[in-house]
Amino acid sequence: MTDITLDWASRHMPRVARAIANLPDLSAIRLSMSMHLDMKMLPLVYGLCRRGASLYITTCNPATVRDDVVAHMRASGANVAAWKDMPAEAWSDAIAGGIAFGPTHLSEMGADYTHYLMETGTALPDVRCGLEATGSGINRLKGKLPPWPIFNWDDVPVKEGLHNRHMVGLTTWNAFFSRTLLSLHEKNVLVVGYGSVGQGLAASARAFGGTVMVAEIDPGRLLQARYDGWQTGSVAELAPRADVIVTGTGGHHVLPFSVIERLRDGCFLLNSGHRIDEIELEPLLALPCEAPVPYVTSHRLASGRTVHLLANGAMANLTAGEGDSLNSFDITLAVMAEGIGHIVRDGEVAKAGVHLLPDPIWGRACADFG
C-alpha cells in the first residue's frame, strides 16, 4: 500500500478542511462511527477531535482495516476498536462497544450499530440522530422504523453520481491490474449488478480494454444496460463466457457456487459490493488452493479447472487497492463532514425514520472555492 501521510492527504482535501472549519463546537457530542479505516478518513477524524468531539470508531468491514490508520486515529484521541481481519465475534463486540460508549449521535457505513440495537432489543442509548453512508445500510433499514432520525447520504446525487459511478470502477480495475499485472484487453468481463457501482465498473472495464457483459435482476436496469451497449443476460447464462467476473450489488451469493463450478479455466473473481458474501465463498475456500501472488488465491475445481479469487472476495478496491483518489474523496468526505454538522444541529429535530440529507447541506461541500 502507498504510504500516504496525513499531511499529504490534508493538502489535497481542501473541501474537507472547509467543512470542518464550519462545524460548531462538538465538545458535548459523543459520536460512534463505523466506517472503512482507510488513510483518507484521517483528515475528518483529526478534524472532529479538534472540534472537541468524543469519538468511538469501529470498522464497517474487517477486511478493509489498516492497522497503521487505527494507530493514527488513536493518536488523534479517538477510541478505536478494530484491527485488520478481526474475527466476527470481536467485530460484534466492537459494535456493542460503540453502543456502550453512550453515543449522542451515530455515523455509519452499513447500519451496524442501528441494526444491532434493533435486532438485539438492547436498551436504547440516548442517540439523537444518525448518518448513513451506504446503499447496503439503507437497504438493511428498509421496512423498519429506527427510533431516531437517520440521514441517508448514499443517495445524494453527488455521492451516487461521482463516487459510486466513477471512482469504484476506476479503483477496482486499478487494484486488479496492480495485483495481477494483467490488463483487461481481450478479456470478457462480466459485471453483476447495474446500479451506479455496476455502471462505473462496466464503463471503466471498457475503457481499460475489456469486452463487457452485464447481469441484472431488475428489468429496468437490465434494459438500461442494453441501451448502454452491453451484452446482457443472467449470471448463469453469461458467467461461463467470462474471463473476469466482478460483483457490485450489495446482495448475498449473487455469484453462486453452482455457477462458479461451470466457469472457464483461469477465470478471475472479484467483488466491489459492500458484502463479503456476494460471491459464494464457503465451498470455494474448501477447495485445494494456492496463493501465487499476494491478494490472489487460486482454487482448483472438481472439473480440474482453476479460478482465481482477488482479496478473498472482500471489496477489491479497498482491500487490494487504495480506494478513491484524494481529490475525488475530498468531495465525498466533505459531504460526510457537512452531514455530521447537520445531525448535530437541525437534523436532531427531524422525525424518527430515514431522510435524505437535504440539498443545501451536501451542496455546501460541492461548492467551488473563490
Selection from 29, 200, 167, 158 nearest residue 106 by Cα: 29
- The yes or no reply on residue 162 touching ligand NAD (CB under 6 A) is no
- The yes or no reply on residue 216 touching ligand NAD (CB under 6 A) is yes
Closest-CB residue for ligand NAD?
Answer: 195
Range in contact with ligand NAD (rule: CB under 6 A) among 81-89, 134-142, 301-309, 342-350:
134-142
Applying the rule CB under 6 A, the residues between 228 and 247 that interact with ligand NAD are 235
- The yes or no reply on residue 250 touching ligand NAD (CB under 6 A) is yes
Applying the rule CB under 6 A, the residues between 17 and 46 that interact with ligand NAD are none
Residue bearing cell 473473481: 269
Taking the C-alpha atoms of residue 71 and residue 67, their distance in angstroms, rounded to an integer, is 6
Taking the C-alpha atoms of residue 364 and residue 362, their distance in angstroms, rounded to an integer, is 5
Taking the C-alpha atoms of residue 351 and residue 136, their distance in angstroms, rounded to an integer, is 22
Residue bearing cell 463505523: 34
If DSSP codes are grouped into helix, strand and coil, which group holds residue 353? strand
How near is the Cβ of 328 to ligand NAD at its closest, in Å? 11
Range in contact with ligand NAD (rule: CB under 6 A) among 89-97, 124-132, 191-199, 305-313:
191-199
Which H or E run includes 117? helix 112-120
If DSSP codes are grouped into helix, strand and coil, which group holds residue 299? strand
CB environment 231-251: b (16+ within 10 A), e (fewer): bbbebeebbeebbbbbbbbbb
Choosing from 62, 130, 169, 195, the residue that interacts with ligand NAD (CB under 6 A) is 195
- The yes or no reply on residue 217 touching ligand NAD (CB under 6 A) is yes
Nearer to ligand NAD by Cβ, of 104 and 249: the residue is 249
DSSP code of residue 144: -
Q: Which residues pair with 149 in a beta bridge?
A: 353
- The yes or no reply on residue 317 touching ligand NAD (CB under 6 A) is yes
- The yes or no reply on residue 272 touching ligand NAD (CB under 6 A) is yes
Nearer to ligand NAD by Cβ, of 41 and 168: the residue is 168
Longest dimension (CA), the chain: 62
Range in contact with ligand NAD (rule: CB under 6 A) among 22-30, 111-119, 269-277, 338-346:
269-277
Q: Which residues contact 123 (CB under 8 A, 6 or more apart)?
A: none
Nearer to ligand NAD by Cβ, of 150 and 254: the residue is 254
Tally the C-alpha atoms within 13 A of residue 55's C-alpha that lie toward its C-beta.
28
Range in contact with ligand NAD (rule: CB under 6 A) among 122-130, 238-246, 267-275, 284-292:
267-275
Which H or E run includes 265? none
Nearer to ligand NAD by Cβ, of 53 and 131: the residue is 131
Distances 25 to 33, 70, 98, 113 between C-alpha atoms, Å: 18, 24, 22, 25
- The yes or no reply on residue 204 touching ligand NAD (CB under 6 A) is no
Applying the rule CB under 6 A, the residues between 114 and 133 that interact with ligand NAD are none
Selection from 106, 104, 107, 61 nearest residue 86 by Cα: 61
Nearer to ligand NAD by Cβ, of 192 and 296: the residue is 192
How near is the Cβ of 320 to ligand NAD at its closest, in Å? 11
How near is the Cβ of 54 to ligand NAD at its closest, in Å? 28
Size of the site for ligand NAD (CB under 6 A): 29
310 near 269, Cβ under 8 Å? yes
- The yes or no reply on residue 311 touching ligand NAD (CB under 6 A) is no
Q: What is the tally of helices (H) and strands (E) in the chain?
A: 17, 15
- The yes or no reply on residue 104 touching ligand NAD (CB under 6 A) is no
Q: Give the binding site for ligand NAD (CB under 6 A).
A: 134-136, 164, 168, 192-198, 215-218, 221, 235, 248-251, 254, 272-274, 315, 317-318
